[in-house]
A and B are shown apart, each in its own frame.
Chain A
Amino acid sequence: MTGRQPTVPAEVAGPPPMVQSEGVHKRFGPLEVLKGIELEVRRGEVMCILGPSGSGKSTFLRCINHLEKIDAGLLWVDGSLVGYRQKDHRRHGLRLHELRESEVAQKRAEIGMVFQRFNLFPHMTALQNVIEAPLRVKKEPRSEVTDRAQQMLQRVGLSDKAGAYPTQLSGGQQQRVAIARALAMRPKLMLFDEPTSALDPELVGEVLDVMRGLAEDGMTMVVVTHEIGFAREVGDSLVFMDGGVVVEAGPPREILANPRHERTRTFLSKVL
């Protein structure tokens, strides 16, 4: 975060947007992956991010829960800066202070994330995967957590698989357990990083159905995906990224029907 004076989020009145990104930059060594991302995700909004691989969409998603540290720009989640704290010094004015590791962890606990490769804990059963974080991170009582975990597994249609280890489950089942695991933390925001890209085609539907249900319940979601159909039917907004910038953003139907930019058009013609 260099070269910029931190500013207060634009809307001071009313609840802040769930995610607000101003000029977010990220580089890996000499490679600049994000070149100034300007985005806003409202509460209850389902935003789908589309784009060719290497466009920076996954990296941006990982910046939101601070799995990646941004190099410049400002990023807010629910009105507070990601990874930093603003402090009003008497002499120096507003300054940014890096959060301690435990504080970063606390913030992450409020954001659910679902990965392309599921990343379930292989040494734990489905139920143990789901109860682990509420039990150890939030220190909630075991009986309460177990009850809620059963509900979550039921919600993703896997209440009969509570005792199964991840290797005993299909890819689609694993990904649904991963969604239940994230939901058990009662997140205010869910991030999906290509949740169906590692699945066999016939297993994609069951995962998308769970995600559709979540959207209908009003969960705020940011979904990096290649599923155009899902983006059109479930998404409130669609963002097309390429080369580390947002090429265009807007209502999914509009963008998919007549993309304004040449790059969006070429990309869509390839995936549709």
Chain B
Amino acid sequence: MAVAILAVIVAMMIHGVVTNERFHWDTVGKYLFDQRVGQGILVTLELTVLSMAIAVTLGVILAVMRLSPNPILSGAAWVYLWVFRGTPVYTQLVFWGLVGVLYPQIGFGIPFGPQFATFDGKDLIAPFVAALLGLALNEAAYMAEIVRAGILSVDEGQTEAAAALGMARGQLMRRIVLPQAMRVIIPPTGNEVISMLKTTSLVIAVPYSLDLYAKTRDISTRLFLPVPLLIVAAIWYLVMTSMLMTGQYYLERYYARGSLRTLPLTPLQKLRRRVRARGAAR
């Protein structure tokens, strides 16, 4: 009964959305595979992948620093977290966009000594770089906490056994603790990737306007039709997050080895097995 009611409600909603001509489904179809939208998708993916890569690397370093017995290292990591987690990502993006104004000249050389090369601040921190830095440095603070929780979840006996074999702290982290921490780190990191994919739409604050959301908005302002292009953007965000979820599933499976006696079948394996069973029955 409940299922029937639910089915009717869903059918009504779909009918309402599809037949409402103010959604302009023809426009949605026309722009869904538009070249400009495609370019926006690529930029969004690029921003997501690069900023997450930086954030994960930096997050691991920050987490290991925070757990270090050295108070200067753990203190520095704490201050980083305090600043980057304590301010909105939008504010940080605006700030990185203004770095060129704050530092017109950026030089590389010996500290307080001669400079080997100087760059124009505006050139070095181009809008794309500013967007990337803003997203990555903010995310690194969150990743650090996720990685720290993962490291703390690993049994102390593991550290002891590795130390007793003569492993130094760095090696022990890399080879023994972090691979085991992955089981705890990956699910929330998957969430972070999905969240990052959507947060890239904020890079307009830099201002940087070549990502998916900015592209669809550009088109919609020209057409005076905001809704269909919003739907185009939403569809593509959904497609991308779905792909990420699939990737996360297989990654989790990979790191579950050794903790489960037999891995559960993947949906594909289940399907294949069912098809084969049906074939055998016939």
Other-chain residue from A112, A167, A181 in contact with B259 (beta carbon distance below 8 A):
A167
Q: Of A72-80, A129-137, A154-162, A243-251, which stretch is located at the interface?
A: A129-137
Other-chain residue from B160, B162, B167, B180 in contact with A123 (beta carbon distance below 8 A):
B180
Interface contact A122-B157, CB-CB below 8 Å = no
As a 0/1 sequence over residues 107 to 143 of chain A, the CB contacts with chain B under 8 angstroms (1 = contact) are: 1111111010101111110000000110011100000
Q: Of A17-25, A87-95, A98-106, which stretch is located at the interface?
A: A98-106
Q: A170 an interface residue at 8 Å Cβ cutoff?
A: no
Residue of B nearest to A66 (CB): B163
As a 0/1 sequence over residues 140 to 164 of chain B, the CB contacts with chain A under 8 angstroms (1 = contact) are: 0000000000000001011011111
In the complex, chain A residues whose CB is within 8 Å of the CB of B257:
123, 165
Beta-carbon contacts under 8 Å, B143-196 to A: 155, 157-158, 160-169, 171, 175-176, 179-180
Rounded to whole angstroms, the CA-CA distance of A168 and B158 in the bound complex is 18
In the complex, chain A residues whose CB is within 8 Å of the CB of B157:
115, 117, 119
Interface contact A67-B180, CB-CB below 8 Å = no
Q: How large is the interface on A (under 10, 10 to 19, 20 to 34, 35 or more residues)?
A: 20 to 34
Q: B3 an interface residue at 8 Å Cβ cutoff?
A: no
Interface contact A113-B258, CB-CB below 8 Å = no
Beta-carbon contacts under 8 Å, B203-259 to A: 255, 257-259
In the complex, chain A residues whose CB is within 8 Å of the CB of B258:
122-124, 165-167
Interface contact A105-B160, CB-CB below 8 Å = no
Distance in angstroms from A133 CB to nearest chain B CB is 4
Residue of A nearest to B179 (CB): A123
Other-chain residue from A109, A119, A133, A182 in contact with B158 (beta carbon distance below 8 A):
A119
Rounded to whole angstroms, the CA-CA distance of A113 and B3 in the bound complex is 61
In terms of DSSP, what is the predominant structure of the interface of chain B? helix
Interface contact B168-A105, CB-CB below 8 Å = yes
Q: A185 an interface residue at 8 Å Cβ cutoff?
A: yes
Beta-carbon contacts under 8 Å, A22-68 to B: 65, 67
In the complex, chain B residues whose CB is within 8 Å of the CB of A120:
161
Interface contact B168-A101, CB-CB below 8 Å = yes
Other-chain residue from B158, B167, B255, B261 in contact with A136 (beta carbon distance below 8 A):
B167
Distance in angstroms from B259 CB to nearest chain A CB is 6
Distance in angstroms from A242 CB to nearest chain B CB is 25
Rounded to whole angstroms, the CA-CA distance of A105 and B167 in the bound complex is 6
Interface contact A167-B261, CB-CB below 8 Å = yes
Residue of B nearest to A111 (CB): B164
- When A and B form their complex, which 8 residue pairs have the shortest distance between CB atoms, in order from nearest? A109-B166, A119-B161, A133-B165, A113-B164, A119-B157, A123-B258, A137-B166, A122-B258
Further contacts, 13 of them, CB under 8 A, given A137-B166, A168-B261: A67-B163, A101-B168, A101-B169, A102-B168, A109-B166, A121-B180, A123-B179, A123-B257, A137-B165, A137-B167, A167-B258, A185-B165, A185-B166
Residues of A at under 8 Å CB distance from B?
A: 65, 67, 101-102, 105-113, 115, 117, 119-124, 132-133, 136-138, 165-168, 178, 181-182, 185
- A-B contact list, 9 entries, CB within 8 Å: A65-B164, A112-B164, A113-B161, A121-B180, A122-B258, A136-B167, A165-B257, A167-B259, A178-B161
Residues of B at under 8 Å CB distance from A?
A: 155, 157-158, 160-169, 171, 175-176, 179-180, 255, 257-261
